[in-house]
A and B are shown apart, each in its own frame.
Chain A
Amino acid sequence: MRAQSIDHLALLPLYLAAAGAVLALFAGRAAKAATGIGLAASAAAAVWVGLGPDRATFAVDEWHSYVADDAAMGAAALFAALALLVAGLSGRQAGEYWFLLAASAAGGIALAGARDLVTLIVAVETLTLPLYVLVAKPGREGAEAGVTFLIASVTSSATALMGAALLYAAGGTVHLGGLPAGLDGAPAGLTAAGLALLLGGLAFKLAAAPLHAWAPLVLERAPLPVAAYLASASKLGGAVAVIWIVHFGLTDGAAGPQRSAGIVLAVLSVASIAVGNLAALVQRRTVPLLAWSGVAHAGYALAPLAVLMTAAGRTDATAAASAAFAYAVFFVLLEAGAFTALTAVRPGDADAGGDDGTLRMQSGQATGAVRPGVTEVHSASDAAPLKAGMPDAEASGTGADVSIRTSGFADTDYREGPSRAVVEVSAASAAERRTSRAPLESGGPPRSDLSRTATGGGVHVPRDGGTIQVPGEGGRIAELSGLRKSAPLPASVLVLAVVGLAGLPPALAGTFAKVAVLEVLASSAVWLAVVVAAGAVVGLAYYLPLARTVLLGRAAATGKGRFALEVTLVGLALAAVSLAPRLVLEFTTFTQ
């Protein structure tokens, strides 16, 4: 057995991100800085490696397990940059938060370079695993989100693994480069089943129907920066995994497997477009609206790949994969913009709408021992109590805001808060104690503690991801009314992102994405182009009111802009790709 020579330069972005993650565990108070530097260095390294010649390493015969070509490094840079953005939005957190974030980003970078099924699935798991912890805010709401995400994720991972196993059985190799030849002549049923399971399982990451139901619920209940990560980097991961398998594993191969994959993807795509758009139509709250519309966008991103089912489509499969990748990149940039702006204007704390803070606090106090997973890591790594200093500790001073700090990762020094706040905290916690044994079914959308107390906390709220509107909850679209006046910068970035998601100029990023997809579909699957067009029209029916509320609303929104630097950077990035789409299209265009 000969020794592998490893091209460490190709792995440099991965090393740097992983180093950032490890450093975060030991850096104490400098954890955030360590993560930030690691991720920034990783992004820069990815760009640098990507600009150089293509590299590849971990070879078996002529197939490589890890390739650092333009597409991989572009995606890697994007993973690192998105993680960096989320880090910037996260405010002050304990060391393990940064570790988990950077570890997830490292998973994404590994995924970008992965060229065999095992590396790919392990990378997807690395990308996802840290999120189990990150999505779970303390409290019942958070726990439910965490459990939902965990179960959905584990199920889909098992499905994808099963599919990969079947493909290995059929093709005799796990290398994507070897699959085209391996699957030629393999049992058609086995191949089709393997592809369906693998692609369906991976589509979970993309929140494509039918494995989409976790997204609205988890996105709404997760802390907003984590939701931003889920909606951008994590979805990019799903898209990259699917596109890599289809492009590197199928395009050169026989017609049969391609047709099977095309049919699977067409079903996923049409179902996602239909389900996502229809559900988004009835949303009254911002994050679920974006989450449901994200389901529809997953459908648009998968649509170009579905042309593999037609003979005409198989001849320009490379263009189809390029279009899908370009769409995914533009889409996650726009989603990142929307969620960044939302995070910046969400009143009170960095991670949720005001009123449910009390609820989480009480749960955090009453059930402190049950805080999912974080407590142990925290005490093991860095026991130094952080000061109770979320960025706006002074500005808030309501019970809800203080309570958030008490429920956060940091140990809170109560004496630092205003005395009134302490009183409110105790009053609120008393209220919670009264209601802490509220029936389990009260796990609906967060409600104000006033209404909760008044109704005894036992109101049955359907657990449908927040489609029920309760007066006074945070995060309603109507609360963004007049945001243009109270916080012009986030409002303009939000409008730019929303208009882009609707695919309309002047937010050209979205228009380019739509053009890329429609160009592929028009040449080989006109009916799917019509489906996409219909979906976009329906999308307008909910995006326009959202844009209108932000832009033309006459109410006085209370949201104040924060994170000015992050919002500005995202806005500039969106403007840059709108004016110079080649920044994206250069690395998303595959050459065959």
Chain B
Amino acid sequence: MNWLLVAAVALPSLGAALAWAYRGERQAHWLGVASAGAGLVAVAVLPFGREASGWWHRLDLAWAPSIHLDFALAVDGVSWPLALLTALLGLLCCVYNALGAERSSASAPLQVPAATVATGGPFPKADRAVGVPAETTIAAASASGGTRQAGVGSVRTGRTAGAEAGEATAEAGRVSPVLTSLLLAVQAASTLVFLADNLVLFFIAFEAVLLPMWAIIHRYGDPAARRHAAGKFALFTVAGSLLMATGLFIAVADTGTAGLGAIITAGGVGEPVSLLVFALLALGFAVKAPLWPLHSWLPDAHTAAPTVGSVLLAGVLLKLGTYGLIRVAGGLAPDGAAEAAPVLGALAALGILVAGLVCLSLPELKRLIAYSSVGHMGFVVLAFAAGTEAGVRAALFGNLAHGLVTPLLFFLAGAIKARAGTGRLSSLGGLRLAAPRLAGLLGFAALASLGLPGLAGFWGEAFTVYAAAERGGAWLALAAVAAFGAFLAAAYLLRMLRRVSHGPVAPAAAGIGDVSAAEAAVWTPLVAGTLLLGLVPGPLLALFAEGLL
């Protein structure tokens, strides 16, 4: 059983390597899908034969003892759901790529890779004309973009005939397998973060997520913003992870061991350094989570990233921050966490409020969803800061729910943007008439996101407010702010729905295709998960209860 832990990490890595090695062939996608699927199976069977308490399974191989580095993997009720979520999202993204869902959806105009100024295309920020019948505009744009792309391709071919020509056509037609490879790399590294039972390994895995994600944004992102967004993402993340590393190493020096479980069971680091450790760790994880005011990389990165990139960012990468905060920061320095709780709680509540207000006025679909993540993560951090048992469980639950709902929203936003050619709320409208099933799904996801009872988003947010209120005193104010933030979330999500789904059919939305079979296949697990968590939260809460915290 222990080797399944290795398989959960190794299979996606292998898939990444294979997809990269065979990137010239169309089957490469399916290699990726197969390995991601195998990885999901490996994670899914982990609960069988588990220990009654503490780690379910544990594996420890010496790697570099002199720097306290062991290849130690372990899993329990706290990390397993997140690892499962990671594997599931990884698989869905790979399938999405393999089916080319965004590009081959029925009757939707094919989205050509936008020609940039550099490749001779129009200035990408210049919005396509609004008011002209959509199909002609986009067809014209794609035709011109296509020919320009082809022109560039042929020039290059003349220079270095051969491999490059193949790549150019592959890029013009379908998603590149390299994207699948990078996605799998992110998946493997994230799984390693969730399963690591060694602080140095945890840090290395945390860093390993960065480069593939950076490459996804930088290479496959929105041409107008990707450079800036990718750079910002990388700098913020590395700054955070190095501060976190410093905190981790102080803990290692203080306790003399780098075993995560061992330190948690021993009650964390000594009192004198506890606050310092927690402050450094919390700073590092707050960048990743992200916690206001360290969130400013997030809207840019999400908006610029390709759909699958946004999905992984929201569903997996943000979870690294909250998982680290709850499990590592809270586990290593419980005393420091208790001391710093008011600050953390206040920042989280402020973040909820700010995110809600900003979202009310954002004009772009994807950016709005991205910014709403800041609010959701604020709930998670607030619940953790409250520190009660209900709070920590609410944090873990909200974390997981966000990991199902927001990826679904990003998938939908990506589909809408690909079809309509724009994500501006002012240019969209009437989706309810043009593509009823798409609009229905968007409504479902939005309702889940704003915390409608019976859907996944509800439990986390409701119990966050409850946990904060439970502590009384000034925490009541924070609970009130959070409740108001939930109200704001309802306001901005309903505003989004009104702009996108309702009203007369906007030109951009006219004649766009409804949900294709491929898309339905990819989105169904997320919808099912959202319903399941919303209706039957008990088993998951029970898993958290037996976790090592």
Binding site for B on A (CB under 8 A): 322, 326, 485-486, 499, 503-506, 508, 511-512, 514-516, 518-519, 521-524, 526, 529-530, 532-534, 536-537, 540-541, 544, 548, 551-552, 556, 581-582, 585-586, 589
Contacts and interface: CB of A to CB of B under 8 A. Distances in A.
9 contacts: A485-B164, A506-B208, A512-B64, A521-B246, A522-B249, A526-B250, A536-B242, A544-B234, A585-B64
Nearest to B254: A523
Which of B208, B214, B250, B276 counts the most A-chain CB atoms under 10 A from its CB?
B250
A529 B246 contact: yes
A518 B204 CA distance: 13
Contacts of B214: 544
B246 A522 contact: yes
- Smallest CB-CB A-B distances: 3 pairs: A523-B253, A522-B249, A533-B242
Which of A514, A521, A544 counts the most B-chain CB atoms under 10 A from its CB?
A544
A537 B250 contact: no
Interface stretch (B65-73, B418-426, B435-443, B452-460): B65-73
A258 to B, nearest CB: 19
B238 A585 contact: no
Given A526-B250, A529-B246, A537 B211 contact: no
A503 B200 CA distance: 14
Interface stretch (B43-51, B86-94, B155-163, B364-372): B155-163
Nearest to A586: B66
Nearest to B63: A581
B243 A519 contact: no
B243 A556 contact: no
Given A522-B249, A533-B246, A486 B234 contact: no
B204 A519 contact: no
A485 to B, nearest CB: 6
B156 A519 contact: no
B245 A533 contact: yes
Interface of B: 63-64, 66-69, 156, 159-160, 163-164, 189, 200, 203-205, 207-208, 210-211, 214-215, 218-219, 231, 234-235, 238-239, 242-243, 245-250, 252-254, 276
Contact of A519 (B67, B219, B238): B67
Contact of A540 (B159, B219, B238): B238
B204 A537 contact: no
Contacts of B276: 526
A506 B211 contact: yes
A508 B204 CA distance: 8
A556 B163 CA distance: 12
A533 B207 contact: no
Contacts of B160: 485-486, 556
Contacts of B207: 503-505, 511
B546 to A, nearest CB: 32
Given A499-B211, A541-B235, A544-B214, 20 more contacts: A326-B67, A504-B207, A504-B208, A505-B211, A506-B208, A511-B204, A511-B207, A512-B69, A514-B245, A515-B249, A521-B249, A522-B253, A532-B242, A533-B242, A533-B245, A540-B234, A544-B231, A548-B218, A552-B219, A585-B66
Given A485-B160, A519-B252, A585-B64, A533 B239 contact: yes
A561 B101 CA distance: 39
B204 A540 contact: no
Given A485-B164, A504-B211, A544-B214, A519 B235 contact: no
Contacts of A582: 63-64, 66
A149 to B, nearest CB: 34
Contacts, number: 109
B246 A589 contact: no
A395 B425 CA distance: 59
Contacts of B164: 485
A576 B235 CA distance: 28
Contacts of A548: 218
Nearest to A507: B211
A552 B178 CA distance: 12
Which of A511, A522, A581, A589 counts the most B-chain CB atoms under 10 A from its CB?
A522
Nearest to B203: A515
Contacts of B231: 541, 544
A519 B253 contact: yes
A105 B238 CA distance: 37
B234 A523 contact: no
B66 A533 contact: no
Contacts of B211: 499, 504-506
B242 A523 contact: no
A322 B68 CA distance: 14
Given A530-B243, A533-B242, A552 B163 contact: no
A552 B218 contact: yes
Contacts of B63: 581-582
Contact of A530 (B68, B163, B246, B253): B246
Given A519-B253, A522-B253, A540 B235 contact: yes
Contacts of B208: 504-506
Contact of A537 (B156, B189, B235, B246): B235
Contacts of A540: 234-235, 238
Given A486-B160, A499-B211, A519-B253, A581 B246 contact: no
A518 B245 contact: yes
Contacts of B249: 515, 518-519, 521-523, 529
Contacts of A551: 215
A537 B239 contact: yes
Given A512-B64, A519-B249, A522-B250, A533 B215 contact: no
Nearest to B248: A522
A322 B189 CA distance: 29
Contact of B67 (A503, A512, A552): A512
A69 B208 CA distance: 35
A428 B64 CA distance: 57
Given A512-B67, A585-B64, A556 B246 contact: no
A515 B156 contact: no
B3 to A, nearest CB: 19
Contacts of A529: 246, 249
A385 to B, nearest CB: 39
B255 to A, nearest CB: 11
Contacts of A519: 67-68, 249, 252-253
B253 A537 contact: no
Contacts of A521: 246, 249
Contacts of B218: 548, 552
A537 B68 contact: no
Contacts of A508: 204
A486 B159 CA distance: 11
B218 to A, nearest CB: 7
Contact of B238 (A523, A524, A537): A537
Contacts of A536: 238, 242
Contacts of B189: 505
A104 B234 CA distance: 41
B242 A537 contact: yes
A498 to B, nearest CB: 11
A516 B203 CA distance: 12
Nearest to A508: B204
Given A540-B238, A541-B235, A581-B64, A556 B250 contact: no
A485 B163 CA distance: 8
Contacts of B64: 512, 581-582, 585
Nearest to A323: B67
Contacts of A511: 204, 207
Which of A515, A552, A586 counts the most B-chain CB atoms under 10 A from its CB?
A515
Contacts of B66: 322, 582, 585-586, 589
Given A486-B160, A526-B276, A581-B63, A515 B245 contact: yes
Which of A499, A585, A586 counts the most B-chain CB atoms under 10 A from its CB?
A585
Contacts of B215: 551-552
A585 B156 CA distance: 47
B69 A515 contact: yes
Contacts of A515: 67, 69, 200, 203-204, 245, 249
